[in-house]
Structure 1
Amino acid sequence: MPELTTFAPGVVAAMRAELPAVAEQTVAAIVVEVPGYTEAFRGDMGRAIENAVQLALGGFLELATATSVADPSRPIGPALEGAYALGRGEARSGRSMDALLAAYRVGARVAWRHMSATAVAAGMPVDSLARFAELVFAYIDQLSASSVAGHADQLATSGRFRRRHLERLAELLLTGSPAYDLVAAAERADWTPPRTLTAVLLPEVRARGALGQLDARTLQSGEDLPGAEPAAERAVLLVPDAEGFARATLLRALQGREAVVGPPRPWQEARASYSRALRALQLGLRPDGDAPVDTEQRLADLVLRADGEALADLRAQVLAPLDGLGAGPREKLVETLRSWLLLHGRRERIAAELFVHPQTVRYRMGQLRELFGSRLDDPQCVLELTLALAAREP
């Protein structure tokens, strides 16, 4: 703000008398020149804005009549507070600052034109007009800066509140809260529910990069995940509508991010998707190269590994006939038996999978029949062997 110089009381009194007229003309000019405010300034809102303009102009006149520079902000404190509140109101209404700053520019021009004419008519020396203009526009700059600060503060505050509401919604989804709690939380967060949600577990350090490629409605929770290890440092994303073709897009976006992807579930049942992904992680399912773990393609592994101790006991029990063999011969016969079970005894395909001659397959199967006897023809034994050998030992 320029150095304060008081104006003659008669000049100030004349300008003060013109404040209502200047405020009315200012609002009328803003309505015409700033289209974004055409509707906002009609009726009661228009009268409220006129009052705000009068407050701002009155603050300026208080500044012009100040006799001390000890605290130059004191005379215009209410005007600055009003400008700050106006900026916050614009942010709450979803407006940018463009229209308001344009209104300030129009208002400054109109107020300067009318108030300077009044001041000269009241006896202000012409050589003081430059000083007057400098004071007017410096004052408008202060009001503009105060509104910008209010706008920014409101955005920051509302952004923090919404983030907290979204985090709370993610927490409720992951803990399986009742439907009415979920609906209420979604409304508080201004979040439109999708058809389904798909849980994605990945290291926290990779979550930010993944979010940039996913649906903007994706929810994130990275703290105190239900059932997760406390030191796991993993985040969970809840991705909307990632079923069908959209799932392939999701899997591509997660390439190289060490992610585990649950199944799509109705959005209020997102906990089921999260539980599946978490279980896959706990059971030691790992990505194949850069590809994420797609639990929809690993269902057999999930079933077979659901009780690791029981699987180990079953494997030991059904493979007991091989206990007398050395490690090398035992491994070869186990591989042959697995292929024989999974390929339904087709010798040529078994040989191709094991990279051996079909005669070698025939010889090994002869050994296995000697060791297992008629059990290889028993459906129950075949089922148990298939379960035991379908998943390779971790």
Structure 2
Amino acid sequence: MTVQQQTFAADVAEAVMAELPAVAERTVAAIVVEVPSYAEAFRGPMGRKIENAVQLALAGFLELATSAGGVDASRPIDPAIQGAYALGRGEARTGRSMDALLAAYRVGARVAWRHLSATAVAAGMPAGSLARFAELVFAYIDRLSAASASGHADHLAASGRERRRQLERLAELLVTGAPAYELNVAAERADWTPPRTLTAVLLPEADARGALGVLDSRTLQAGEDLPGAEPSTERAVLLVPDAEGFARAALLSSLAGRGAVVGPARPWQDTRSSYSRALRALQLGLLPDGEAPVDTEVRLADLVLRADGEALADLRAQVLAPLDDLGPGPREKLLETLRSWLLHHGRREQVAAELFVHPQTVRYRMGQLRELYGARLDDPTTVLELTLALGAR
């Protein structure tokens, strides 16, 4: 005869089985008192489900404890372990941690042991078998606790993966310019509260995780293979909420040293324009120089001038043709003087201060330029063309 068969004679098992409904009821009552967070959960249909689960677990234990061959009670039968697993998933689904459920298991083990041991002894269980009985009870509860913890973790992992997928899908819809109704539905599915604005940030994938750690927790990250993006850039796309006004300075500061290109803030349903601006800046070669990220809001002139590089090159060649016969040194001096003269509207003292030369030197160089260009330096169209040609140097 096995130890378990000796522990649970037929009359003892029968007596214990008869007590299971009462033990389950007492267990639930004790849990309600000792685990306050469950007081509401045990009311109504949920309470009946949990009481049934307690009875199922106790019945499963008794079946194992009385089975032939001495089956180990630390390995519960399928219905009981499935019920414990489902309880853990249910806790995660309602947003609760495992703390309350584990406390309920501890209370349940104590109450069940107290009443079942009393019943077993009254039915004739030898005192020497009580230790084995206690070992079986608590090993069984430990196994059920582990099954519930597994169910809880599995639900969180699955729901976390699903929400990340929904958030990535929302980000993709935003940067591709999906219709407003699609964006609203996607935001609701992702359980994401829309902000006033979103700002697109492009940065190396290796820096994305670190950036997410210091940005608004509502920041979205788009998946790979976005329209218009070049695979060779290996850039992550972040969409940062409410980073306009004073908050933009904080955003730029937090992105220092991360190689970021930052688009303008746009109403959240118009995120595509922010993404397009940042992507265009990247494609036109506006890359971070040093620690500071590229702020497209202060590089608008560069974006305009670089929009058609071939046309700009043709314009430069055409409008600077009068300087072609000069040597490299004299040509460069006249170009920097002409550029400063255009930017300072012909104010000689300011040009001299910028170039660190004497005002007479500025006057001499401008005389040379007038000989080369003649009256064209007073022509508004020529002035505009020269400004454009020299503005992106």
**Structure 2 length as normaliser, TM-score?**
0.97
Question: What's 2:302 paired with?
Answer: 301
Q: Is the 8 A contact 2:61 2:73 kept in 1?
A: no
Question: What's 1:228 paired with?
Answer: 229
Q: Match of 1:157, as an amino acid?
A: A
After TM superposition, give the deviation of residue 65 of structure 1 in Å. 0.5
3-state SS of the aligned residue for 1:280?
helix
- Aligned-partner Cα distance in 1 for 2:16–2:182: 59
- Aligned-partner Cα distance in 1 for 2:307–2:245: 27
3-state SS of the aligned residue for 1:264?
strand
The correspondence of residues 110-259 of structure 1 with structure 2, limited to 5 A, is 110-259=111-260
3-state SS of the aligned residue for 1:228?
coil
After TM superposition, give the deviation of residue 375 of structure 1 in Å. 0.5
- Aligned-partner Cα distance in 1 for 2:70–2:327: 98
3-state SS of the aligned residue for 1:110?
helix
Q: Is the 8 A contact 2:31 2:38 kept in 1?
A: yes
Question: What's 1:34 paired with?
Answer: 35
- Aligned-partner Cα distance in 2 for 1:199–1:320: 41
Q: 1:3 to 1:226 in 2, by over 3 A?
A: farther
After TM superposition, give the deviation of residue 126 of structure 1 in Å. 1.2
3-state SS of the aligned residue for 1:176?
coil
Q: 1:251 to 1:4 in 2, by over 3 A?
A: farther
After TM superposition, give the deviation of residue 328 of structure 1 in Å. 1.3
Question: What's 2:97 paired with?
Answer: 96
Q: Is the 8 A contact 2:65 2:71 kept in 1?
A: no
After TM superposition, give the deviation of residue 70 of structure 1 in Å. 6.7
317-326 or 21-30, which moves further after superposition? 317-326
After TM superposition, give the deviation of residue 69 of structure 1 in Å. 4.6
Q: Match of 1:215, as an amino acid?
A: D
Q: 1:286 to 1:336 in 2, by over 3 A?
A: same
- Aligned-partner Cα distance in 1 for 2:219–2:3: 54
The correspondence of residues 281-296 of structure 1 with structure 2, limited to 5 A, is 281-296=282-297
- Aligned-partner Cα distance in 2 for 1:186–1:21: 49
Q: Match of 2:117, as an amino acid?
A: S
333-342 or 316-325, which moves further after superposition? 316-325
3-state SS of the aligned residue for 1:18?
helix
Q: Match of 1:23, as an amino acid?
A: A
Number of equivalent positions: 391
309-318 or 104-113, which moves further after superposition? 309-318
Question: What's 2:332 paired with?
Answer: 331
Q: Match of 2:98, as an amino acid?
A: M
347-356 or 67-76, which moves further after superposition? 67-76
- Aligned-partner Cα distance in 1 for 2:197–2:16: 65
- Aligned-partner Cα distance in 2 for 1:4–1:195: 67
After TM superposition, give the deviation of residue 76 of structure 1 in Å. 2.0
After TM superposition, give the deviation of residue 166 of structure 1 in Å. 0.8
After TM superposition, give the deviation of residue 71 of structure 1 in Å. 8.0
Q: Which runs of 5+ in 2 are unaligned?
A: none
2:274 maps to 1:273:
yes
- Aligned-partner Cα distance in 2 for 1:96–1:8: 40
Q: CA RMSD in A?
A: 1.5
Question: What's 2:378 paired with?
Answer: 377
Q: Is the 8 A contact 2:74 2:140 kept in 1?
A: no
Q: Is the 8 A contact 2:21 2:55 kept in 1?
A: yes
After TM superposition, give the deviation of residue 330 of structure 1 in Å. 0.9
- Aligned-partner Cα distance in 1 for 2:226–2:348: 49
Q: Is the 8 A contact 1:15 1:118 kept in 2?
A: yes
After TM superposition, give the deviation of residue 43 of structure 1 in Å. 2.1
After TM superposition, give the deviation of residue 72 of structure 1 in Å. 6.4
Q: Is the 8 A contact 1:222 1:234 kept in 2?
A: no
3-state SS of the aligned residue for 2:95?
coil
221-230 or 62-71, which moves further after superposition? 62-71
After TM superposition, give the deviation of residue 343 of structure 1 in Å. 0.7
Give deviations 1:24-69, integer Å, cap 9, x for gaps.
1110100010011010001222122111100000001001111125
Q: 1:31 to 1:367 in 2, by over 3 A?
A: same
Q: Is the 8 A contact 1:255 1:290 kept in 2?
A: yes
Give deviations 1:130-172, integer Å, cap 9, x for gaps.
1111110010000000000000000011011111111111111
- Aligned-partner Cα distance in 2 for 1:165–1:75: 37
Q: 1:222 to 1:302 in 2, by over 3 A?
A: same
- Aligned-partner Cα distance in 2 for 1:358–1:68: 108
- Aligned-partner Cα distance in 2 for 1:154–1:231: 37
- Aligned-partner Cα distance in 2 for 1:33–1:72: 26
After TM superposition, give the deviation of residue 225 of structure 1 in Å. 2.3
Q: 1:72 to 1:50 in 2, by over 3 A?
A: closer
Question: What's 1:61 paired with?
Answer: 62
- Aligned-partner Cα distance in 2 for 1:338–1:276: 28
192-201 or 43-52, which moves further after superposition? 43-52
Question: What's 2:323 paired with?
Answer: 322
Q: 1:44 to 1:364 in 2, by over 3 A?
A: same
Q: Is the 8 A contact 2:203 2:261 kept in 1?
A: yes
3-state SS of the aligned residue for 1:14?
helix
Q: 1:145 to 1:74 in 2, by over 3 A?
A: closer
Question: What's 1:10 paired with?
Answer: 11
Give deviations 1:282-333, integer Å, cap 9, x for gaps.
1111223200000001011111111111111111111111111111111110
Q: Match of 1:236, as an amino acid?
A: V
Q: Match of 1:135, as an amino acid?
A: L
Q: Which runs of 5+ in 1 are unaligned?
A: none
After TM superposition, give the deviation of residue 199 of structure 1 in Å. 0.2
Q: Is the 8 A contact 2:199 2:266 kept in 1?
A: yes
Q: 1:69 to 1:130 in 2, by over 3 A?
A: closer
Q: Is the 8 A contact 1:66 1:75 kept in 2?
A: no
2:357 maps to 1:356:
yes
After TM superposition, give the deviation of residue 270 of structure 1 in Å. 0.6
